[in-house]
A and B are shown apart, each in its own frame.
Chain A
Amino acid sequence: MAGKPKLYYFNGRGKMESIRWLLAAAGVEFEEEFLETREQYEKLLQDGSLLFQQVPMVEIDGMKMVQTRAILNYIAAKYNLYGKDLKERALIDMYVGGTDDLMGFILMFPFLSAEDKEKQHAFIVQKATSRYFPAYEKVLKDHGHDFLVGNNFSWADVHLLEAILMVEEKKSDVLSGFPQLQAFKARISSIPTIKKFLEPGSQRKPVPDDKYVETVRRVLCMYYDVKAN
């Protein structure tokens, strides 16, 4: 029997979180090895486990996969969450690209100075409410289906829910102008695998804190300042 996928990353969200979401949505159990020390990271480097010297890395189906998008593409295709044909895949890729950009603004947030955090907070909310959420609201309104693409649950739905929840952590009423997204959020959250992932005790990671930032900086020797958008 194939081993479970094994995730190598810090004990926090970062770039690995979308992968956790997708595996969970697909009902795939996975293991995690958390990077706590520089030594662990250097061992992975020396073993040649990290193709471009970076994490995320996921051991899956005999491969040591790196590059978040490559890993997500593989999981989505393997577990039939990538649409039924090229055109559906194109839509899914477009939608995921948008939510990826949006979540990217939030990804760097914990590493910003206090002053930049304030600016970035406003930036995130502005982009979410004027660029991204309206696009998905319209998609749902126009076809009236439960899911974003092809009337079928896909990676795009998982990714959008993840993005919605992350933005709501920044501004709890951010969905107030988006009735379709509110209903979408409730609907997707009720899917059994997603519901399970949203419960306490799951492998979903909490909002990053100072300890997380400290760990990342220490393990990667990443002590430079991160700039806001």
Chain B
Amino acid sequence: MAAKPKLHYPNGRGRMESIRWLLAAAGVEFDECFLETKDHLTKLKKDGFLLFQQVPMVEIDGMKMVQTRAILNYIAAKYNLYGKDLKERALIDMYVEGLLDLNELIMHHCIQPADKKEQHLATIEDKATNRYFPVFEKVLKDHGQDFLVGNQFSRADVQLLETILMAEECKPDILAQFPLLQSFKARISNIPTIKKFLQPGSQRKPPLKEEDLPKIMKIFH
């Protein structure tokens, strides 16, 4: 019987969180090996486990996969969350890549110097409400279906939910102008695998606390 995927990363969201979401959405159980110290990372490098000396790294199906997108692509395809043909995949990729850009912006909030934090938060709000969320509101409005692509649950829906929740952590009423995204959020949150992941005690990670940042930085620098 195939072993569970094993995730190698610090105990926090970062670039691994989208991978946790996707595995959870697909109903795939996974183990985690948390990097706590620089020595731990050094050992992984020395053992030749990290193709480009970086994490995330996921042991899955006999491979030591690195590169977030590669890992996400593999999981999505394997568990049929990547659309039914090339054109659906194209749409999914466009939506996911846009959301990953917004995610990246939100991810960088915690490493902003104190005097830049407020401006950065304003940028996140601006991009979320003027660039990204209107697109998905329109997609849902135009086809009137429950899911973003092909009337079927896909990684695009998972990624949108993850990003919405992260944006709401920055500004709780950020979906105020987006009624369809509000019902989307409720709908996708109710999918059994997602609902489970959203419950306390799951492998979903909390937002990074400022006091934990130095410890994380020490692992990488």
Judging by beta carbons under 8 Å apart, are B67 and A97 in contact? yes
Judging by beta carbons under 8 Å apart, are B53 and A131 in contact? yes
A178 to chain B, nearest CB (A): 16
Measured between beta carbons, the chain A residues less than 8 angstroms from B90 are 63, 65, 70, 73-74
Judging by beta carbons under 8 Å apart, are A52 and B67 in contact? no
Chain A minimum-CB-distance residue to B53: A131
Judging by beta carbons under 8 Å apart, are B74 and A52 in contact? no
Judging by beta carbons under 8 Å apart, are A93 and B87 in contact? no
Task: Give the dominant DSSP class at A's interface.
Answer: helix
Interface string of B76-114 (1 = CB under 8 A from A): 011000000011011001101110010000000000000
In the assembled complex, the Cα of A89 lies from the Cα of B94 at a distance in Å of 18
Any B CB within 8 A of the CB of A132: yes
Judging by beta carbons under 8 Å apart, are B70 and A74 in contact? no
Judging by beta carbons under 8 Å apart, are A90 and B69 in contact? no
Measured between beta carbons, the chain B residues less than 8 angstroms from A93 are 67, 69-70, 73-74
Number of interface residues of A (CB under 8 A): 28
Judging by beta carbons under 8 Å apart, are A74 and B86 in contact? yes
Judging by beta carbons under 8 Å apart, are B97 and A90 in contact? no
A59 to chain B, nearest CB (A): 13
Measured between beta carbons, the chain B residues less than 8 angstroms from A12 are none
In the assembled complex, the Cα of A61 lies from the Cα of B53 at a distance in Å of 38
Judging by beta carbons under 8 Å apart, are B61 and A87 in contact? yes
Any A CB within 8 A of the CB of B65: yes
Any B CB within 8 A of the CB of A191: no
Any B CB within 8 A of the CB of A86: yes
Any A CB within 8 A of the CB of B51: yes
Judging by beta carbons under 8 Å apart, are A98 and B67 in contact? yes
8 Å CB contact of B131 from A52, A98, A101, A135: A52
Any B CB within 8 A of the CB of A66: yes
Judging by beta carbons under 8 Å apart, are B86 and A94 in contact? no
Any A CB within 8 A of the CB of B30: no
Judging by beta carbons under 8 Å apart, are B70 and A78 in contact? no
8 Å CB contact of A77 from B52, B86, B98, B101: B86
Interface string of A120-138 (1 = CB under 8 A from B): 0000000000011001000
In the assembled complex, the Cα of A53 lies from the Cα of B132 at a distance in Å of 9
B residues 47-62 touching A (CB-CB < 8 Å): 51-53, 61
B71 to chain A, nearest CB (A): 8
Asked if A52 meets B132 with Cβ closer than 8 Å, knowing A77-B89, A89-B74, the reply is: yes
Chain A minimum-CB-distance residue to B132: A52
Any A CB within 8 A of the CB of B3: no
8 Å CB contact of B93 from A73, A94, A131: A73
Judging by beta carbons under 8 Å apart, are B70 and A73 in contact? no
8 Å CB contact of A97 from B61, B69, B87, B96: B69
Measured between beta carbons, the chain B residues less than 8 angstroms from A53 are 131
In the assembled complex, the Cα of A53 lies from the Cα of B67 at a distance in Å of 26
8 Å CB contact of A94 from B66, B89, B94: B66
Beyond A70-B93, A77-B89, A90-B73, 16 additional pairs, beta carbon < 8 A? A53-B131, A67-B94, A70-B94, A70-B97, A73-B73, A73-B90, A74-B86, A74-B93, A89-B74, A90-B74, A94-B65, A97-B66, A98-B67, A131-B52, A135-B51, A135-B52
| 18 sampled A-B residue pairs with Cβ under 8 A | A51-B94, A52-B135, A53-B131, A65-B94, A67-B97, A70-B93, A70-B97, A73-B73, A74-B89, A77-B86, A86-B77, A86-B78, A89-B74, A90-B65, A94-B67, A97-B67, A97-B68, A135-B51
